[in-house]
Structure 1
Amino acid sequence: MRRNISKYSNILITGVTGLIGGEILRRLHARGHRGRVWALIRPSDGDSPAERLRERLDRSGELSATAGAADAVAGDILEPFWGLSGANLAEITESVDVIIHNAADTSFAAHRDTATTNVTGVRRLIAFARGCRRAPLIAYMSTASNVGRETGRCLSEDDGCRPANEHFNDYKHSKAVGEQELRDSGLPVLTLRPTIVLSAGLPDPVFARQILWCAPLTRAFGALPIDPNSRLDLVDVGFVAEATLRLLECPRRTHDCYHLSAGTTGCVTVGELERIVARVNRRRTPLRLVPPAGWRPSLHRAAVDTPLRKRVFRSLRHYLPFLNMDVVYDDARLRAVVPAAELPVRPAGEYLPELLALIREKAALREACLP
């Protein structure tokens, strides 16, 4: 049974203090949505859910334009009934039509138990949705790279979600497990798989360096074990948020899973990105990008030979497998619903300089300790 949202749908959204969830909420409000919208937010550091919501919308630079975008309700996706209680629980379970689940732990670090958030949160979602009167559609924000270790391919949606495969880190594996459990639940689900999402258009340095923290630090190196011809599937957050809402609004979806991707025509190579970074960094000597097969121990010792380089490389190694995958994600399904002429993928060269200008080296070094 396929469902779509209307202007009057009642919607519960998680992860609205994050990059993607906040932009989905902002665009939903800009559409003049008339139904109820609840933003499930965990109180933290003495800030109420409403205060955290205002802070997030302010980071998009449009706080005044988004006043009243949602009712901020206290909750926790790791708790039974997602931590809702009393009147909020009764109202939402009685009237919610769509649940957009964005909340996730996106850390690549091995010491973080990402499965606690990403799998347990989904299990709580399944139990919660089964208690809702209207059997709401669940829009689950997964990740395109939940397929596991792959190289040199253009992957379709049918290739993805492989919990049994070997994965580069616990985050990717946990997203595959969560997606599979949602599929197996029998609940109505629309799975969305974004690729690498950048915060283009948001004047916020924290969002900028979440993915790009390593870019200004590459000036510390003369060489790195990265294939310059490896393709990367980059999309901006505005594209992801708009594509999500377009898919949810479409009454003629023929699939229940979609890549939110640049695809083969919109992808870029690492070498192309390096040239952009070099211009912003005003680098005089080009960074030598060496395919991993040619990265010898002697070259590693020469390239990673100072305390600063060793410190940065320890964090960078979590990301090297993804930079070298040379994998892109087919966008044919998405384009059958949302043509490229209506929603193009912005070329990375248009917005990367602006994002890189937001990142200060000291802040990037701090981020290097928290991959």
Structure 2
Amino acid sequence: MTGATGLIGGAVLHRALEGGDDATWVCLVRCAGVEQGRQRIAARLSRFTDAFTAQRLARKVEVVPGDFTRADIDRDPRLDDCTHVLHLAADTSWWGDERVYRTNHDGTLALARRARAMPDLQRFLHVGTAMICGADADEFVAEDDYPAADARHMVAYTVSKAATETSLAEHFPDLPVVVARPSIVVGHASLGAGPSSSILWVLRAADALRMLPCAPESHVDVVPADWVAETLIGLLTKPTLAHDLYHLSAGARGRTTWAEVIAAFEAAEPSDGRRAFRQFDLVADRAVLRRRFAEVFGLDGSLKQAMLRAVRAYYAFCALDVTFANDRLLAEGFAPAPTLPAYLPVCLANGATIVEQFADDIEMFAVPPPAPEARAAGDALAASA
């Protein structure tokens, strides 16, 4: 397993280890040594349980210090014995094109090359994203619609994930690759915002701003992290699968309208009973959004300025009104995901402030430092701005 210290990785380990899974989980972790890696895993598990249990569960994990992007030169014999690979690790930054591509695309191919040396490998489960559909997708997206060469991507992350799927299919037809594409992962159905507030803060910010870049009747396809984890374990271990590509999504039956999201906020945090939202245009009303953001959150300091940029970026995804077909997943016998309104109250009950939650998510919006030769030009542009 890669990505054990991330949100979904932690959810997978917590579900598997707490549930008495007798499999040996071998985790490739970036760390200086085994104990440091184990403590990184324990720190993530502590978001799902108490500190003592997190330490106990982390002791069950076989830690291999290393980097998945260099896995093809990692000769640790414990990797040879793996029968299943769950590849979750990724650079989830929205910007920083070259670095993100190098990590997500080139790194995954390095891991796939290492997987060829696993003689008993039964499944290589690669976790991508349903958002490789880009900005111009139809309202309903089937698994085989993408990746597509003409997709208009909005962020570097989805570019890298689409390219990775294409390269895995082209260069590794000999591997038992299965691709899982989660839609938008928000919160935890029973623990709320405890494990992570990623993306939840966006919904809360939209509620506080009372602004939407789309009609209230448009849809959002959201699933909780614990359901994604349980479904990934099922896809990893189910002896036979009918397909090699699955959306992990709410689908047509579980998707949520923004009107339903608004109603769920009103039920959890009553206001005037109306919760009136203004619909706005992302391009034409940039100044309007900025003024409203300043009224609600302020624009003092770099954190809030970064938050405004992130809100704009997420609003672009909110406006897509896209639903990802999950018929394949349901046909395999997997349970449908809980709907967002059903578990939103628990997410709101144990969350920090919206700005604090954004700070927990800020690494997605970090811009890598410019190369030395570009720095002078960048400084000049900053001065003129």
TM-score (norm 1): 0.83
Residues 43-62 of structure 1: CA distance to partner in whole angstroms, max 9, x if unpaired? Answer: 27997001111111121116
Distance 2:289 2:4 in 1: 41
| Residue 354 of structure 1: aligned partner | 346
| Residue 92 of structure 1: aligned partner | 79
For structure 1, the residue ranges without an aligned partner over 5 or more in a row are 1-12
Give 2:323's match in structure 1, choosing from 325, 328, 339.
Answer: 328
Aligned residue type for 2:112: I
2:66 paired with 1:79: no
| Residue 19 of structure 1: aligned partner | 7
| Residue 345 of structure 1: aligned partner | 337
| Residue 357 of structure 2: aligned partner | 364
- Which shows bigger deviation, 311-320 or 136-145? 311-320
| Residue 36 of structure 1: aligned partner | 24
| Residue 286 of structure 1: aligned partner | 275
Aligned residue type for 1:121: G
Distance 1:318 1:164 in 2: 21
2:151 paired with 1:165: yes
Contact 1:227 1:290 in 2 (8 A): yes
More helix by share: 2
For this pair of structures, how many residues does the alignment match?
A: 351
Contact 1:246 1:338 in 2 (8 A): no
| Residue 103 of structure 2: aligned partner | 117
Contact 2:115 2:121 in 1 (8 A): yes
Distance 1:100 1:46 in 2: 20
Residues 61-114 of structure 1: CA distance to partner in whole angstroms, max 9, x if unpaired? Answer: 1652735432122111122437x45xxx12322x11111100112222457832
Distance 2:236 2:33 in 1: 34
Give 1:313's match in structure 2, choosing from 289, 308, 322.
Answer: 308
Contact 1:219 1:281 in 2 (8 A): no
In structure 2, relative to structure 1, the CA distance for the partners of 1:99 and 1:46 (3 Å cut) is closer
Contact 1:263 1:331 in 2 (8 A): yes
Distance 2:38 2:291 in 1: 51
In structure 2, relative to structure 1, the CA distance for the partners of 1:163 and 1:178 (3 Å cut) is farther
| Residue 223 of structure 1: aligned partner | 211
Give 2:186's match in structure 1, choosing from 198, 211, 219.
Answer: 198
Contact 2:71 2:114 in 1 (8 A): yes
| Residue 9 of structure 1: aligned partner | none
Distance 1:149 1:298 in 2: 23
Secondary structure of the structure 1 residue equivalent to 2:91 = coil
Alpha-carbon RMSD? 3.0
Aligned residue type for 2:352: I
Distance 1:323 1:249 in 2: 33
In structure 2, relative to structure 1, the CA distance for the partners of 1:91 and 1:46 (3 Å cut) is closer
Alignment of 1:139-288 (within 5 A): 139-184=125-170, 185-186=172-173, 187-201=175-189, 203=191, 205=193, 207-218=195-206, 221-284=209-272, 286-288=275-277
Secondary structure of the structure 2 residue equivalent to 1:319 = helix
Q: How much does 1:171 deviate?
A: 0.7
Distance 2:129 2:34 in 1: 31
Distance 2:311 2:287 in 1: 19
Contact 2:34 2:65 in 1 (8 A): no
Contact 1:163 1:180 in 2 (8 A): no
Secondary structure of the structure 2 residue equivalent to 1:25 = helix
Contact 1:194 1:261 in 2 (8 A): yes
Distance 2:24 2:82 in 1: 8
Secondary structure of the structure 1 residue equivalent to 2:63 = strand
| Residue 375 of structure 2: aligned partner | none
Residues 207-261 of structure 1: CA distance to partner in whole angstroms, max 9, x if unpaired? Answer: 4321112334346535343332221111112221222222233333111111111
Aligned residue type for 1:290: Q
| Aligned-residue identity in percent | 28
Q: How much does 1:360 deviate?
A: 1.7
| Residue 60 of structure 2: aligned partner | 69
In structure 2, relative to structure 1, the CA distance for the partners of 1:320 and 1:297 (3 Å cut) is closer
Aligned residue type for 2:322: V
| Residue 124 of structure 2: aligned partner | 138
